[in-house]
C-alpha cells in the first residue's frame, strides 16, 4: 500500500487558522493536491499568529499548511468567485471554516456550489453547528472547551476550570471532517454524486465530553476533576518521585498487589480498606498520601525500572523537551524534516504497511499557485 493513498485527489481549502487548515494538511500529507484559497491581502490570519519563523510566516502557519499550494483570490469580487468555480470544476472536495453565513454572503454557500458541481463533496466546518439557536455564532477553541464542559472536567479537584494545553477541539474537528469526506467519497463511487458535510467545534467538543455527558444523563453522575487520576481506579495517577513525576496505573487488584509489594507494603493486600479497587476508591484519602511518601524516597528512573520489572504499568510524566529527546519519538519518526526546508514538524500518526506518509512539503508562499 502506498504511503500517499490519496494521490490524484484534489481538495480546495478555504481555511483560516487551525480547524480548516489542519483538515487540509491531513489530505496533503496523504497525497492529495490541496489548493489553499487565501485573501490577497495578508492571506490566512495564521501567517501572523506569532513571531516570524520562516519567510515572514509564523510557525503555526508552516505546520498546518504544509504541502499545499496557495491561490490568492478576492472572493468579494465576481472575478474571484469565478476563479474559485474554475478550480472546483475538477475538484473532489471543498473544505471551509468561514464564519457562519460568510460563504452564503459570498455566493458560495453549499446549495449554490453543489448545484453547479454535483460531484463535489462540500465540507462546511462551523463553530456551534449548522442548526439550532447558536448556529450563527462564531467560536474558537477555548470558547468551545468552556461551553461544552471540557474545561470544567480538567485540572485539580480544588482548582479552577482549565483549558487543555492542546487544541483538541480544532484538530479533532479537522479529523472528523476528513473521516466524513472519505466516507462521502466511498458513497460517491457508488452513486456518482457528492453532497454536503457539516462538522463543528461544538459537536467535536461534545463528543470528547461524551463519556462524562452520558454518565450524567443516564446515571446522574456529576463528573469530578482528578488532576492526573481516574474516577474509577485507585491508584491510577501521578506521584512525585525524588526528582520528577511518575504515572502509575493499577487498573485491577492484581496490579495493585504487585505495586504494594514493590513499595514494601504487602500488608495492604489484606487490609480491608485497600484490598479491592472499590475499597481503595472509598479510602483513597488514606492510601494516596502513604504512596506519595514512599515514592518520594527514590529517584524517578529507579522507580520506572522497578515498576516495569514488576509488571506495573507506569510512565514518566515528560515535559515537551523530554518527549522531543525520547528514543521512542525518534524510532517512530515522529519528528520529520520538511522537504526543502530547515525545520521539522510532527507527521501524521499513521503508517501504511509500516511506512509513515511523512511531511508532504513546506507551506506555500501567499499566491504562489497560478491557475491555468
As annotated, the active-site residues are: 170
Q: Before 235, cis peptide (omega within 30)?
A: yes
Residue whose grid cell is 519567510? 55
Going by the DSSP 8-state scheme, the letter that residue 275 receives in this structure is: S
Write b or e for each residue in 10-22: b if 16 or more Cβ atoms lie within 10 A of its Cβ, otherwise e.
bbbbbbbbbbbbb
CA distance 146 to 139: 11
- Phi then psi for residue 319, to 5 deg, are -85, 170
Contact criterion met (CB below 8 Å) for 202 and 209: no
Q: What would the grid cell of residue 372 be?
A: 491555468
Going by the DSSP 8-state scheme, the letter that residue 372 receives in this structure is: -
CA distance 178 to 65: 15
- Phi then psi for residue 247, to 5 deg, are -95, 130
Amino acid at each position: 500500500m502506498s504511503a500517499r493513498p490519496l494521490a490524484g485527489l484534489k481538495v480546495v481549502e478555504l481555511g483560516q487558522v487551525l480547524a480548516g487548515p489542519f483538515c487540509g494538511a491531513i489530505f496533503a500529507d496523504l497525497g492529495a493536491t490541496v489548493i489553499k484559497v487565501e485573501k490577497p491581502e495578508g492571506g490566512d490570519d495564521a501567517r501572523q499568529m506569532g513571531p516570524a519563523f520562516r519567510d515572514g510566516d509564523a510557525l503555526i502557519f508552516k505546520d498546518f499548511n504544509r504541502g499545499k499550494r496557495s491561490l490568492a483570490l478576492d472572493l468579494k469580487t465576481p472575478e474571484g468567485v469565478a476563479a474559485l468555480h474554475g478550480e472546483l470544476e475538477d475538484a473532489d472536495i471543498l473544505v471551509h471554516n468561514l464564519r457562519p453565513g460568510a460563504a452564503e454572503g459570498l455566493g458560495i454557500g453549499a446549495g449554490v456550489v453543489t448545484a453547479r458541481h454535483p460531484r463535489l463533496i462540500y465540507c462546511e466546518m462551523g463553530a456551534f453547528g449548522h442548526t439550532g439557536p447558536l448556529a450563527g455564532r462564531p467560536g474558537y477553541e477555548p470558547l468551545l472547551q468552556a461551553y461544552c464542559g471540557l474545561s470544567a472536567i480538567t485540572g485539580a479537584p480544588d482548582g479552577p476550570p482549565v483549558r487543555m494545553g492542546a487544541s483538541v477541539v480544532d484538530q479533532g474537528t479537522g479529523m472528523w471532517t476528513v473521516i466524513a469526506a472519505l466516507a462521502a467519497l466511498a458513497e460517491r463511487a457508488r452513486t456518482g454524486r457528492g453532497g454536503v458535510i457539516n462538522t463543528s467545534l461544538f459537536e467535536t467538543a461534545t463528543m470528547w465530553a461524551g463519556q462524562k455527558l452520558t454518565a450524567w444523563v443516564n446515571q446522574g453522575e456529576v463528573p469530578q476533576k482528578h488532576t492526573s487520576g481516574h474516577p474509577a481506579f485507585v491508584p491510577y495517577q501521578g506521584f512525585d518521585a525524588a526528582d520528577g513525576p511518575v504515572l502509575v496505573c493499577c487498573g485491577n487488584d492484581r496490579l495493585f498487589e504487585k505495586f504494594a509489594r514493590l513499595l514494601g507494603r504487602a500488608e495492604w493486600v489484606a487490609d480491608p480498606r485497600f484490598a479491592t479497587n472499590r475499597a481503595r476508591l472509598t479510602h483513597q484519602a488514606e492510601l494516596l498520601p502513604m504512596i506519595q511518601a514512599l515514592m518520594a524516597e527514590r529517584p524517578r528512573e529507579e522507580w520506572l525500572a522497578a515498576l516495569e520489572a514488576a509488571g506495573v504499568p507506569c510512565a514518566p510524566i515528560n515535559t515537551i523537551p523530554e518527549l522531543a529527546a525520547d528514543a521512542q519519538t525518534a524510532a517512530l519518526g515522529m519528528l520529520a524534516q520538511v522537504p526543502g526546508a530547515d525545520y521539522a514538524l510532527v507527521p501524521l500518526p499513521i503508517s501504511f504497511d509500516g511506512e509513515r506518509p511523512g511531511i508532504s512539503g513546506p507551506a506555500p508562499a501567499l499566491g504562489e499557485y497560478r491557475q491555468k
